[in-house]
Structure 1
Amino acid sequence: MTTTVTLPAQRDLIDGQWSVPAELPEAPLCHPDTGEPLQARTQTAPDAVHRAIAAAESLHRKGSWRTSPITDRIAFLRRVAAALEARLDEIAAADSLTSGVVRTVTGMFADGLPDVFRAAATRLAAEPGEQSLSGSTGPVRLLHLPWGPTAVIAPWNASTFTVAKKTAFALAAGAPVIAKPSGWAPSGPVLFAEVLAGAIADAEAPPALFQLVHGDSETGQLLAQDSRIRALAFTGGRVAGAEIARAAAGHSTALQLELGSNNPVVVRADADVAATADALVAGFTKLNGQWCESPGSVFVPAELHDALRDAILDQLRTIRLGSCLDPTSTMGPQANRPQFDRVADAVKRLTQHGATATSTTGLPDLPGWFHAPAVVHDADPGDTLDELFGPVLTLHRTHSDREAVELANRCHTGLAGYVFGADLDAALALGAQLDCGEVKINGTSVLDLHPESTQGFWGGSGTGAHGDAELLRFFRGARIVGVDNPAFPI
């Protein structure tokens, strides 16, 4: 099943004004089901990017948003949440076409967008950013204030959700935002920007409060290297993240970098093989394998290896790989041709080194970028250190929990880890040894473990953390103001 779809026009939003960025001549956006070109990718002109930065800096200097009453900011965030409700279907459809993720799943992400803004409002009400302390000779106030103009750079997977969540909490902190989605997934963020622009106009808020620019690494570099950008949240690959960090290093921009991670799985000898297989298949086919916390390298006791492999392959037979717009599909195509090629090349490289790759999921009769989920076994663990970022799971035999943890921590990991076992105390103890910011026991869900969850980005997987509390704190800096004590001895 495919359908004729028109993506929304890509437009820049700069200081309240819409304009059309230049089209790029190569590699258009294509329908992932068919490879049919849908729309040219675009690039915002450098002078337009600088105008956006100047508008954001001017707004921050004037202080009309950062000094606005907390109640006004909360009311605005709730206004945006309400306005988003009417556009969720459009956003979900656009996100499906630019990611290949099935429409039923992008719909769940879209449905969560209003809640993101409500959560930011709730967090701001709980942490308004000012605390009165008792000084020895007079009042002391501990303030948490916005760093300044903020850039949000989002990836092509879950692009709209990433832009929305980071934007919501930056606005709550009092910062103006310039968002740049991936050039491969601009459509949902454009629809989101339309909602923001409408809410800004209705609330008579400053037009530079939220701005949108387009492009790939060139636009991202312009934002990162500009000293007027005082905070930058980037989600994407490790190579691009390192480039952003280098560009921003000269002026000490506050950085939150959520990068790639090969997320290890440790299966203990007492694990339920069938339940483990079900959870792993759900995890590494979720979002078509295109999510940064997808299970990657699985370390399993040698005596369970073959049974687990066979159980995973049995479960993969139930996956219905098909059109991203077909409501009966449970998995869709890879997002774009470069992504498909990366996954296919990674599997080919492993098999050339002696590994075996197996899949039992049927391919649809469609010409798009469909990659069947694959189980790779008998690979050297040294060949699977990096994140594959696709529907590929590697299985490795181990002979003890200790060996499994050592191999897991050699992976280029840091975001997420998984442990499967019947003895929950033992599984929790083992999970605490994995060098990852979040370790889930007996499951592979996308959702946080707890409403107050905080997940640090360990090792090369980034800097900072996410979780609602951490996100609001990232966009603000501490400033303490008070009456000094002249009697202090030094």
Structure 2
Amino acid sequence: MAIATTNPATGEVLKEFDALSDAEIEEKVARAAQAAQAHRATSFDERAGVLRGAADILDEDVDSLAVTMTTEMGKTITAAKAEIAKCAKGLRYYADHAPEMLADDIADADAVDASRAFHRFQPLGVVLAVMPWNFPLWQVIRFAAPGLMAGNVGLLKHASNVPQTALYLEDLFRRAGLVDGGFQTLLIGSKQVEAILTDKRVAAATLTGSEGAGRSIGETAGKQLKKVVLELGGSDPFVVLPSADLEKAAKVATTARCQNNGQSCIAAKRFIVHTDVYDEFARLFVENMSGQKVGDPTEDDTDIGPLATEQGRQDVVDLVTDATAKGARILTGGEVPDGPGWFYPPTVVADITTDMDIYGEEVFGPVASLYRASDTDDALRIANDTDFGLGSNVWTTDDAEIDKFVDGFEAGQVFVNGMTTSYPAIAFGGVKNSGHGRELTKFGIREFCNVKTVWIA
């Protein structure tokens, strides 16, 4: 993929960039290695000052930065501004809480025949971050904020369709006063990643992206015995049981499916409804989905903008076409609109069977798969019948059902009577083909730390 800003609302290529040469990459890796030594020697207060400064800059730049994000990947301007605000909040959260998260963990000295025993959390060094385009700012900040507070430095290989956002991130931390070389953007293609990860000066990697990308990074890191955190997408279940508030569930389901134009790893994608309330939920859900406004993402009242890439839309079209050819019903949407840009309408697909591609694959667009479950056991069976295990949702007011699904979901996250989302204060990550490792909270900040055991006689 060319490194370029292409407006997905029009298909127009606005700006192209050259990939870094091998010599330029070497210079950046060398700078990062030097920065790692300098940054690890800084205090928590100094690091926190950088993060708070970056948050203040985001507040100041919100309008212009939102336009850049919308222009590069098509998210609505309202969503872009909300993402920027979330990033500023995340930066301040880690500035405030990282010292307590990384305080020495005191062990039982008597149990190990010591006068003192504890665990100290120390940075690994240079971390390579390979990031996707769908949340071009937040995906990076949720690594960078805890990573920098832990004393690590970052090299960012961002998605090739958001180069201006990627360059902004490097400039953001420079302006905030981070040590020279402490966070650098690498405008490179995917084929150049392996050589960087195998470099001895790079200690670890984190990736959010496709299964294929995750397997590739994981294989390379494994051969080098390097730590890696992988978040590889999901096909999250959204289970609705008879005691649920159906009107609220249907409204939240629409937001959960259509957020970020349907391009979110933790977006609810499979809607599994108990047969007793299936018909009524389906009616309400279709009504809400069909009421979403698709259009110019720069307009404040637009709900759904274009998909980020032409190939991304084609992938959605192919999954829906395959399903309908094999007997699925379209309850709303399903037709590619005329005109420029890579738009796709909010769509609900019902009567899905296991031989359809849509049953097992993640749909990265505003397409909801609707399933009828005969009872709670059947609902849980359908929910877990996937290779993914990122987020999950259940809607019920029955305590026994809540316990059943909290325990029974094969997922990294369970949200009850609410929409799956990410917060700095709770862990984020998945199981099965959704990857391994955790981001955010104390679990995320410690992923790229050496947990050093200290025993004193």
| TM superposition score normalised by structure 1 | 0.86
Contact 1:417–1:431 (Cα < 8 Å) also in 2? no
Contact 1:129–1:145 (Cα < 8 Å) also in 2? no
Once the two structures are superposed, what CA deviation does each residue of 1:11-57 show, in whole Å capped at 9, x if it has no partner? xxxxxxxxxxxxx7x58532211212212254222332232222222
* Farther-moved stretch of structure 1 (209-218 vs 322-331): 209-218
Determine the structure 1 residue equivalent to 2:353: 380
In 2 relative to 1, CA 277–206 (structure 1 residues): closer, same or farther, beyond 3 Å? closer
State the AA in 1 paired with 2:24.
A
1:242 Cα shift? Answer: 0.8
State the AA in 1 paired with 2:250.
A
1:368 Cα shift? Answer: 1.0
**Where in structure 2 are the equivalents of 1:208-357 lying within 5 Å?**
208-357=181-330
1:83 Cα shift? Answer: 2.8
State the AA in 2 paired with 1:93.
V
1:232 Cα shift? Answer: 1.1
Determine the structure 1 residue equivalent to 2:34: 58
| Separation (CA, whole Å) in 2 of partners of 1:156 and 1:229 | 23
In 2 relative to 1, CA 334–440 (structure 1 residues): closer, same or farther, beyond 3 Å? same
In 2 relative to 1, CA 131–319 (structure 1 residues): closer, same or farther, beyond 3 Å? closer
User: Which consecutive residues of structure 2, in runs of 5 or more, have no partner in the other structure?
Assistant: none
1:99 aligns to 2:59 (yes or no): no
In 2 relative to 1, CA 422–132 (structure 1 residues): closer, same or farther, beyond 3 Å? closer
| Separation (CA, whole Å) in 2 of partners of 1:404 and 1:163 | 35
| Separation (CA, whole Å) in 1 of partners of 2:366 and 2:389 | 19
1:294 Cα shift? Answer: 1.0
Q: Does the residue aligned with 2:205 lie in a helix, a strand or coil?
A: strand
Determine the structure 1 residue equivalent to 2:366: 391
Q: Spell out structure 1 runs of 4+ moving beyond 6 A.
A: 361-365
In 2 relative to 1, CA 362–324 (structure 1 residues): closer, same or farther, beyond 3 Å? farther
1:193 aligns to 2:167 (yes or no): no
Match of 1:162 among 126, 134, 139: 139
Once the two structures are superposed, what CA deviation does each residue of 1:48-88 show, in whole Å capped at 9, x if it has no partner? 2232222222333xx32212222222222222222332222
State the AA in 1 paired with 2:137.
T
1:268 Cα shift? Answer: 1.5
1:217 Cα shift? Answer: 1.5
In 2 relative to 1, CA 70–303 (structure 1 residues): closer, same or farther, beyond 3 Å? closer
Contact 2:58–2:84 (Cα < 8 Å) also in 1? no
Once the two structures are superposed, what CA deviation does each residue of 1:286-342 show, in whole Å capped at 9, x if it has no partner? 111000011112222234333322221111232111111111211111111111111
| Separation (CA, whole Å) in 1 of partners of 2:289 and 2:334 | 6
| Separation (CA, whole Å) in 2 of partners of 1:169 and 1:222 | 25
1:421 aligns to 2:396 (yes or no): yes
State the AA in 1 paired with 2:27.
R
Contact 2:294–2:305 (Cα < 8 Å) also in 1? yes
* Farther-moved stretch of structure 1 (164-173 vs 216-225): 216-225
1:81 aligns to 2:55 (yes or no): yes
| Separation (CA, whole Å) in 1 of partners of 2:276 and 2:412 | 29
RMSD of aligned alpha carbons: 2.3
| Separation (CA, whole Å) in 1 of partners of 2:196 and 2:26 | 8
Q: Does the residue aligned with 1:300 lie in a helix, a strand or coil?
A: strand
Determine the structure 2 residue equivalent to 1:12: none
1:410 aligns to 2:366 (yes or no): no
In 2 relative to 1, CA 315–227 (structure 1 residues): closer, same or farther, beyond 3 Å? same
In 2 relative to 1, CA 210–455 (structure 1 residues): closer, same or farther, beyond 3 Å? closer
1:475 aligns to 2:448 (yes or no): yes
- Identical pairs, percent: 23
* Farther-moved stretch of structure 1 (372-381 vs 452-461): 452-461
1:371 Cα shift? Answer: 0.3
User: Which consecutive residues of structure 1, in runs of 5 or more, have no partner in the other structure?
Assistant: 1-23, 485-490
**Where in structure 2 are the equivalents of 1:478-489 lying within 5 Å?**
478-484=451-457
Determine the structure 1 residue equivalent to 2:157: 180
Contact 1:321–1:364 (Cα < 8 Å) also in 2? no
Match of 1:127 among 97, 101, 105: 101
Once the two structures are superposed, what CA deviation does each residue of 1:194-243 show, in whole Å capped at 9, x if it has no partner? 1212223xxxx531111111133223333333332212111111111111
In 2 relative to 1, CA 310–381 (structure 1 residues): closer, same or farther, beyond 3 Å? farther
| Separation (CA, whole Å) in 1 of partners of 2:301 and 2:337 | 12
1:364 Cα shift? Answer: 7.2
1:144 Cα shift? Answer: 0.7
1:420 Cα shift? Answer: 1.6
Contact 1:457–1:463 (Cα < 8 Å) also in 2? yes
| Separation (CA, whole Å) in 2 of partners of 1:393 and 1:257 | 25
| Separation (CA, whole Å) in 2 of partners of 1:164 and 1:413 | 24
In 2 relative to 1, CA 275–145 (structure 1 residues): closer, same or farther, beyond 3 Å? same
Once the two structures are superposed, what CA deviation does each residue of 1:136-170 show, in whole Å capped at 9, x if it has no partner? 46554532101121111110100111112211211
Match of 2:122 among 132, 145, 148: 145
Contact 1:155–1:236 (Cα < 8 Å) also in 2? yes
Q: Does the residue aligned with 1:465 lie in a helix, a strand or coil?
A: coil
State the AA in 2 paired with 1:117.
L
| Separation (CA, whole Å) in 2 of partners of 1:478 and 1:315 | 49
In 2 relative to 1, CA 347–215 (structure 1 residues): closer, same or farther, beyond 3 Å? farther
* Farther-moved stretch of structure 1 (36-45 vs 406-415): 36-45
State the AA in 1 paired with 2:395.
F
| Separation (CA, whole Å) in 2 of partners of 1:98 and 1:348 | 28
| Separation (CA, whole Å) in 2 of partners of 1:149 and 1:472 | 14
Contact 2:262–2:366 (Cα < 8 Å) also in 1? yes
Contact 1:321–1:361 (Cα < 8 Å) also in 2? no
| Separation (CA, whole Å) in 2 of partners of 1:267 and 1:399 | 12
| Separation (CA, whole Å) in 2 of partners of 1:108 and 1:393 | 24
| Separation (CA, whole Å) in 2 of partners of 1:137 and 1:463 | 35
Determine the structure 1 residue equivalent to 2:406: 431
In 2 relative to 1, CA 260–482 (structure 1 residues): closer, same or farther, beyond 3 Å? same
